[in-house]
Amino acid sequence: MRSGIQGLDEAMGGLPDRGIVIVAGGPGIGKTVMAAQFVYNGAVMFGEKGVYASFSESKEEFYGSMLTLGMDFNELERRGMFRFLSLMVSDKNSFTRCIDEILESLAATKARRVVFDSINATTSLMDDVEARRFIQLLRVMMKNAGVVCFLIYETSNEVKSEELGPVAFMADAVLLLKWRDEENFKVRELEILKARGLPVEKGFYEFDVDRKHGGVWVITPPKTIPGRGGEVLSTGMEWLDAAIGGGLRRGSLTLIKGETGAGKTCLCAQLAAGMSSTGRLCVYVSTEEGEDVAWLIKGFGLNAEDVDARIKTVSIVPEEHSVQRIYSFFDSILCGEKPDLLVIDSLTPFRRSVQQERFYKLLRFLQLLARANGVVVVATFSLSLIEEAMETDMLGLFDNLLILRNIPTNGAPHKLLFPVKVRGSDHRKTPIRLEVTGRGMKPVSEESLMPAT
């Protein structure tokens, strides 16, 4: 069975076809959201009916908070796809009655998915032996009913399998959701402790909760969109195309490095303008000083309507977000806007706000996102930092490397653009001397080009 939760099915190799999945974790980590998505997606994506048995929330509370994430349970209920049960457990007898009610609902609705949120009220009334027997019995009941049951456990923030006691052994799959402190942020982590009968590639994943992803999403390598392979897209600038072998390849990651004022933003803006003039869609992400790039681009003489229609400018302050949120930010831009070009100007603040290892992972994620979505990703980085921060292996993640330099002159400022590396192309190996004009940077002239190095 599939949960329909982004990344979770890939991480787990799918859910068991029937039986019990334990979801354990601390308050606010996302257990209820994840379980709600399991039922909601089941109905919306796979036409499977569901029942949500809550021992802690009222129907109004549950429907209201899930609606903020885009899940409309009222609608599902109206369509006869869903039933919410608000139950109370005070002693063992009342729990038996609750189980009966749940089983009746499952039979009446022919549900395939059910959630118990949470099971603590019940198991707290039992000792280990009873709890074990109870879960075993429940598992048999769920298998007989032909359903997958999410059993939610409220635990500490850094839940370990021992905290679940013997019940972990009885379940078909066990997911531990944990909070981890990282630098200035609390981040969410999923441990797949067990997935009976299913291959689990790796045990630990980062995950997050946000509206853009309709709730929980597990950060896994992005999936490839077919048909957006390695086509080379023109930059819209003849001289640049000529220097780099025709343009930039879909799915490639390009780094433009250079000192402050070397023209990185100007070149990126020209790139966005140039590609949009060939009908491509661009998203321009600014991370520094809130430069008005849209204004800059319009100065290049493009039709303002085209700029508005094809270039979207977004800004983000990396220091204010955890790495997970940054992943989410880029993932939702690429999946939502489906641009041909993504400019990130600049990566420098990302490097400043996270440790080197984290930064490396972020680049790796961007690389996978670029490949998967067939997007041309162009990022800038300032030179002073790059020398200490970007080791060769980091540079190795970039398909293309362009270096920009200021060259001192008496008159108008000149720049040099040096195509150091352009993967898969017989690119120019010598620097291009550029002059800055009102319409962006342009090669000075063929005669004044620097000699080969």
Ligand X SMILES: Nc1ncnc2c1ncn2[C@@H]1O[C@H](COP(=O)(O)OP(=O)(O)O)[C@@H](O)[C@H]1O
- To ligand X, the closest distance from the beta carbon of 69 in angstroms equals 5
Looking at the Cβ atoms of 62 and 284, the one nearer to ligand X is 62
Sketch the per residue contact string, 22 through 41, with Mg ion: x for CB under 5 A, - otherwise: ----------x---------
Q: Which does 29 bind (CB under 5 to 8 A by kind): ligand X, Mg ion, none?
A: ligand X
* The binder of ligand X chosen from 12, 24, 43, 69 (CB under 6 A): 69
Of 211 and 223, the one with the shorter C-beta distance to ligand X is 211
Task: Pick between residue 133 and residue 211 the one whose CB is nearest to ligand X.
Answer: 211
Residues 261-290 that bind ligand X (CB under 6 A): none
Asked if residue 39 binds ligand X (CB under 6 A), the reply is no
Q: Exposed/middle/buried for 125, CB within 10 Å: 0-12, 13-18, 19+? A: middle
Q: Which is nearer to ligand X, 23 or 283 (CB)?
A: 23
Cα 15 to Cα 18: distance, rounded to the nearest angstrom: 8
d(CA 119, CA 117): 6
Phi-psi region of 113 (alpha: psi -120 to 50; beta: other; left: phi over 0): beta
Quote the least distance from Cβ 36 to ligand X, whole Å. Answer: 7
SS3 at position 80: coil
Stretch near ligand X under the rule CB under 6 A, chosen from 63-71, 266-274, 290-298, 310-318? 63-71
Residue 32 or 254 with smaller CB distance to ligand X? 32
Laid out side by side, the sheet with 113-117 consists of: 82-86, 50-54, 113-117, 148-154, 19-25, 173-182, 185-195, 204-210, 215-218
Task: Return the residue of 7, 19, 25, 419 that touches ligand X, per CB under 6 A.
Answer: 25
Q: Is 54 in the site for Mg ion (CB under 5 A)?
A: no
Binds ligand X (CB under 6 A): choice among 68, 93, 410, 453: 68
Distance between the two ends of the chain, CA-based, in angstroms? 59
- Binding to ligand X by residue 71, rule CB under 6 A? no
Concatenated DSSP letters for 128-183? HHHHHHHHHHHHHHHHHHT-EEEEEEE--TT--HHHHTTHHHHSSEEEEEEEEEET
Minimum distance of Mg ion from residue 194's CB (angstroms): 22
* 28, 197, 230, 396: which one binds ligand X (CB under 6 A): 28
Q: Which does 263 bind (CB under 5 to 8 A by kind): Mg ion, ligand X, none?
A: none
Find which of ligand X, Mg ion, none residue 33 binds, CB within 5 to 8 Å per kind. Answer: ligand X
3-state secondary structure of 234: coil
Contact positions with Mg ion (CB under 5 A) in 84-123: none
Q: Does 29 bind ligand X (CB under 6 A)?
A: yes
The minimum distance between CB 193 and ligand X, in angstroms, equals 17
When asked if residue 30 is in the footprint of ligand X (CB under 6 A), the reply is yes
Pair of tokens at residue 55: 């021992």
How near is the Cβ of 63 to ligand X at its closest, in Å? Answer: 13
Q: Which residue has the tokens 């198991």?
A: 123
By beta-carbon proximity to Mg ion, the closer residue of 175 and 378 is 175
Instruction: Report the SS3 class of residue 410.
Output: coil
Whether residue 25 contacts residue 189, with contact meaning beta carbons closer than 8 Å, is answered with no
375 half-sphere exposure, CB direction, 13 A CA radius: 31
Residue 58 Cβ vs Mg ion, minimum distance, rounded to whole Å = 13
ω into residue 346 within 30 of 0, thus cis? yes
Which of the residues 187 through 216 are near ligand X (CB under 6 A)?
209-211
* Distance, CA of 266 to chain centre: 29
Given the complex with ligand X, which of 32 and 346 has the nearer CB atom? Answer: 32
Cβ distance 44 to 107 under 8 Å? no
Give the E-state strand segments of 159-247 in sequence order: 173-182, 185-195, 204-210, 215-218, 232-233
Q: Which is nearer to ligand X, 327 or 418 (CB)?
A: 327
Which of residues 19, 31, 142, 175 is near ligand X by CB under 6 A? 31
382 touches 349 (CB < 8 A)? no
CB closer to ligand X out of 32 and 353: 32
Q: Per DSSP, what are the bridge partners of residue 206?
A: 189
Minimum CB separation of residue 102 from Mg ion in Å reads: 17
Tokens of 295: 């204004």
List residues binding Mg ion (CB under 5 A): 32
What is the contact surface with ligand X in residues (CB under 6 A)? Answer: 25, 27-33, 65, 68-69, 209-211
